[in-house]
Amino acid sequence: MAKGSLAVAVFLAGYLGCALLALRQRPHFRAASAQAPSARPSAVLRARLLYAGSITLALSLCCSWLAQGVAFGSLFWVLALGATSMAVTFTLTWRPHWLGPVLRGVAAGSLTSPSPLGRN
């Protein structure tokens, strides 16, 4: 049961990590946040998305190692990463607004910028 739960955690953390990294790009940011075509994420938000996405992908790798061991866990993680990145691609293609809560959640913790989503 624990291995199954960790395998699900690998996919969920991988999906979230890929989504966070994708939201750093201007077209995906605009689609998820429903802002004007000229809107772009602030430097603070881009850095926050980078760090959160990287940490989440590292967490996904650790969960994979815990579930499968280091050798097969690494292979499982690479295969899961391919599947989760395709899932993020499909989400951004057909339902980009579904990633809006993820973007707002990352932007809500900004203390250094009054407007991390680029709104003035």
What pLDDT, on the 0 to 100 scale, is given for residue 110? 52
Q: Does residue 57 sit within a domain?
A: yes
Q: What is the pLDDT of residues 27-59, one digit of tens each?
A: 999 999 877 777 788 898 999 999 999 999 999
Q: Return all residues near 27 (Cβ < 8 A) that are at least 6 apart.
A: none
Res 112 pLDDT > 90: no
Q: Does residue 112 sit within a domain?
A: no
Q: What's the structural domain count of the chain?
A: 1
What global pTM score does this model have? 0.85
By residue range, what is the domain housing residue 60? Answer: 2-107
What pLDDT, on the 0 to 100 scale, is given for residue 40? 82
